[in-house]
Amino acid sequence: MPFMFSAVFALTICLTPLTAAADQWPYRDQLRTEIRFWIDIFTKYGDDTFVLHDPEDLSLVYKTITYAPNESDFRREQRLTAARYEVEHALRSLADALAAGRELSGQEKQLRKLFGPSAAPQRVKLCASRIRAQRGIANRFHRGMQRSTAYIPAIKKIFRNKGLPESLAYLPHVESSFDITARSKAGAVGMWQFMKPTARTFSLKMNAIIDERYDPLAASEAAAALLKMNYDELGDWGLALTAYNYGLGGMALAAERCGGNYMNVRRKYQHPRFQFASKNFYPEFLAVMEIMKNPAAYFPGYSSASRHHIVQHRVKKPSTLPVLAKNWGLKLSRLRELNPGYSKKAWAGRLTIPAGYSINIPTGFVALQMLPAPAGKKSFAKIAPGKTLGATVASKEAAPVSAVVLQ
């Protein structure tokens, strides 16, 4: 199979031009190459494609490998290893040719175009030693876009209420693709990928009944508090968002050493933990925002229509989940889908849900306990799609009611 480099990648990586910054997010111009790289990873390359690239200069994309759907894991690993070796060998050959001053072969000329006419042998050789493979996630990102319509309006409201930029609501595209059941190998869970210590710091319930890290709105409240704390401490959104991935203490130390500027930290800070994922967390977020300004430009035919609203109801009286589902006329499986944070024992009815706990319910099913009804009769308030409970229920119950859109 002939070895083909993506020589024109830098020119075609993003056909949709980046829009001018209309808010306070800094460093967009300095990060244009990184933003364009991540836009392609999120929208152009599917889950069966790997991109071989340089981890420090994301304009250097050497090769893409796309697997067949039925290709075995063993065969995929073989192909990826062979491709890495092929790229490394070609880079070392180019470095040797440049150092010796000999005429370049056709393949070497093609490769040199990625580096530009002033490519130095030392730089090319260094790049040969650090080739990285990045998997495309266009399919997963598209699913996340569909899921996100369920939560974006409510999350934006949470951030606005805390005086934060509402576009922070798009950050779960980077963290979890808006999968409220997501769980990482490190133990971070939910849409916002909270670890237990951080969740406790921000008062998320984690007990035998519920793990609120899985609750999209409770976790969003905690994420907003965390991001506000990061920004108040660091005063730079590039640093504050990177701290969401790297940790506030580590980022504060990096800022102190490098001058308190995100780009300085990105270029100068050296630490075994401050690697590719942390360095690219902020550019990934900026790429997501560009995509979400016009999703149909990247995913033709995409539409967020035909969604159903749900309401978040705060339980007024202690009860069990099976009893609540029955009273609300809901299948227990449906209620469980909307509330993945509750434990198996809670879903089995072996644990009582205390008053004050929140449960997500689809529109059309609002419980008797929220509205007065004649004795011996069950009452449900029908809420039209696209509407919220508003005065119908909120005025009859002390607990606040939030409306979100459900997939």
pLDDT tens-digit profile of 121-169? Answer: 999 999 999 999 999 999 999 999 998 887 888 899 999 999 999 999 9
**Are the C-beta atoms of 16 and 99 separated by less than 8 Å?**
no
Sheet with 402-406, side-by-side order of all strands: 358-362, 308-314, 402-406
- Neighbour tally for 168: CB within 10 Å: 27
CA distance 144 to 137: 10
> Is 332 within 8 Å of 174 (Cβ atoms)?
no
What is the structure's pLDDT at 17? 44
Domains, the chain: 9-135 (no CATH), 139-298 (1.10.530.10), 308-406 (no CATH)
Q: To 5 degrees, how large is the angle CA 360–CA 364–CA 366?
A: 60
Measured distance CA(7)–CA(47) in Å, rounded: 23
Element (H, E) at 372: none
Describe the crossing of helices 216-234 and 237-246 by its angle, rounded to 10 degrees.
120
Residue range 16-59, pLDDT digits in tens:
444 334 457 999 999 999 999 999 999 999 999 999 999 999 99
What's the pLDDT at 148? 87
133 burial via Cβ count (<10 Å: 0-12, 13-18, 19+): middle
pLDDT one-digit tens code per residue, 81-115: 999 999 999 999 999 999 999 999 988 998 999 99
Look at residues 306, 339, 316 and name the one whose alpha carbon lies nearest to residue 393: 316
* DSSP codes of every residue in 180-222: TT-B-TTS-BTTTTB-HHHHHHTT--BSSSBBGGG-HHHHHHH
pLDDT tens digits, one per residue of 259-315:
889 999 999 999 999 999 999 999 999 999 999 999 999 999 887 754 556 678 899
Give the model's confidence band at 365: pLDDT under 50 very low, under 70 low, under 90 confident, else very high.
Answer: low
Say what the pLDDT of residue 309 is: 61
Q: Is the pLDDT of residue 117 over 80?
A: no
Residue 296 — φ and ψ, nearest 5°? -65, -20
Measure Cα distances from 69 to 26, 66, 75, 83 in Å: 40, 9, 12, 19
